[in-house]
C-alpha cells in the first residue's frame, strides 16, 4: 500500500519535471513515463521514513535515482550493448527514436538527475553535496559494472566475478537509493549507515539474481521484455552457473540476511523489512 503511494508520488514528480520545452522532451517522456516498478525511489522513501524524514524532503533524491536508472536502461538496450527491442511492454527508445537520439536521451537524463538534486533548495547545501557525491560515485560504478559485464564472454564465469559485477552494475545504484534515505537525516549515526550499506549490498545482489531467475521463469508480459533475453545472449548468470534451484536459494538467503541485519538499526526497520519481503516475493 505504502509502495503504491510512493510510486504515484514519484510518477507525478517525473511527469511534472518533464514539461520543459526542449528537443529531448518527447524521447525523455517516452522512457521515463513508461511505467516501471520505481523500486529505487520506493526504497529511498521507505528508508527515509525510518528516520522520520518527510517525503517532500526525499523527492529530489527519489527522482534523481530513478532518472539514472532509466538512462542506464536506455543505454543498456542499445544494439551495441544488450540489443533489446522491448522494455516495459513497449519498444525500446532506439526502436522509436533511433540510436543517436537514444544515446542522447540517456546522456540528457544523467545530466538532469544531477540538476534535480543540485537544485533541491529544501535540502541544506552540505547534505546536498553528500547526496550528489554518492549519486555520482554510484552512477560511475554502475557504468563500470556494465563495462565488466560486457567484457565477460564466457557463460561459465565464476560466482566471485558475477558477484563483483552485480555489486557494481545493480548494487551501486540500489545502495545509493537506500543510503539516500539515511543521509537525508543530517544527524544520522555512522553505525546506521554501515548497517544500511551492508543491507543494500545484500539486497542489490539478491535483486539481480532474482532478476536472472525471473528472466527464465517469468512471462514476457509480466517482465515487460523478452523472456530469456539474457540467457539467449550467452551472458553468465547465477542460473547458468549454479542452476535455478540453487539461485532461488541464494537470493532468498541474501534477502533474509539483509532483513536480519536491519535488526541492529537504531530505529525500527519495520517498513523496510516489509518492503524487502514484498520484493522477495515479486514475480516480475
Which residues are at the interface with a second copy (CB under 8 A)?
22-24, 27, 71-72, 75, 78, 80-81, 98-101, 103-108, 110-112, 114-115, 118-119, 125-126, 128-129, 132-133, 135-137, 139-140, 143-148, 150-151
CB of 130 to a second copy, least distance (A): 8
CB of 167 to a second copy, least distance (A): 13
CB of 231 to a second copy, least distance (A): 19
Write the CA distances from 19 to 15, 16, 152, integer angstroms. Answer: 7, 6, 40
CB of 117 to a second copy, least distance (A): 8
Cβ 238 vs Cβ 221: under 8 Å: no
Cβ 255 vs Cβ 203: under 8 Å: yes
Contacts of 162 (CB under 8 A, 6+ apart): 236, 237, 238, 241
CB of 160 to a second copy, least distance (A): 15
Length of the chain: 284
Residue 22 DSSP label: S
Distance CA 176, CA 91 (A): 28
Nearer to a second copy, 115 or 256 (CB): 115
Nearer to a second copy, 14 or 104 (CB): 104
CB of 11 to a second copy, least distance (A): 21
**Burial letters 244-255, b for 16+ CB under 10 A, else e:** eeebbebbeebb
Cβ 196 vs Cβ 47: under 8 Å: yes
Nearer to a second copy, 5 or 23 (CB): 23
Nearer to a second copy, 26 or 260 (CB): 26
Nearer to a second copy, 74 or 250 (CB): 74
Lookup: cell for 114:
544531477
Nearer to a second copy, 130 or 267 (CB): 130
Contacts of 123 (CB under 8 A, 6+ apart): 57, 60, 131, 184
Amino acid at each position: 500500500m505504502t509502495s503504491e503511494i510512493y510510486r504515484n508520488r514519484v510518477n507525478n514528480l517525473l511527469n511534472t519535471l518533464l514539461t520543459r520545452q526542449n528537443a529531448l522532451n518527447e524521447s525523455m517522456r517516452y522512457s521515463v513515463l513508461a511505467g516501471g516498478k520505481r523500486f529505487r525511489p520506493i526504497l529511498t522513501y521507505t528508508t527515509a521514513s525510518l528516520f522520520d524524514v518527510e517525503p517532500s524532503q526525499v523527492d529530489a533524491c527519489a527522482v534523481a535515482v530513478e532518472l539514472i536508472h532509466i538512462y542506464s536502461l536506455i543505454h543498456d538496450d542499445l544494439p551495441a550493448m544488450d540489443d533489446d527491442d522491448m522494455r516495459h511492454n513497449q519498444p525500446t527508445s532506439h526502436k522509436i527514436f533511433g540510436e543517436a537520439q537514444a544515446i542522447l536521451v540517456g546522456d540528457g537524463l544523467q545530466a538532469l538527475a544531477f540538476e534535480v538534486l543540485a537544485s533541491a533548495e529544501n535540502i541544506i547545501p552540505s547534505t546536498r553535496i553528500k547526496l550528489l557525491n554518492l549519486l555520482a560515485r554510484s552512477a560511475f560504478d554502475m557504468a563500470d559494472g556494465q563495462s565488466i559485464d560486457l567484457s565477460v564472454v564466457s557463460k561459465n564465469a565464476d560466482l566471485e566475478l558475477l558477484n563483483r559485477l552485480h555489486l557494481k552494475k545493480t548494487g551501486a545504484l540500489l545502495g545509493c537509493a537506500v543510503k539516500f534515505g539515511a543521509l537525508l537525516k543530517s544527524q544520522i549515526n555512522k553505525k546506521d549507515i554501515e548497517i544500511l550499506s551492508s543491507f543494500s549490498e545484500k539486497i542489490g545482489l539478491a535483486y539481480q539474481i532474482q532478476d536472472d531467475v525471473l528472466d527464465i521463469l517469468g512471462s514476457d508480459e509480466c517482465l515487460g521484455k523478452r523472456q530469456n533475453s539474457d540467457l539467449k545472449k550467452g551472458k553468465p548468470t547465477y542460473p547458468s552457473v549454479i542452476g535455478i534451484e540453487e539461485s532461488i536459494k541464494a537470493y532468498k538467503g541474501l534477502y533474509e540476511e539483509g532483513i536480519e541485519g536491519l535488526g541492529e538499526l537504531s530505529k525500527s526497520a519495520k517498513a523496510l523489512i516489509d518492503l524487502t519481503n514484498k520484493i522477495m516475493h515479486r514475480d516480475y
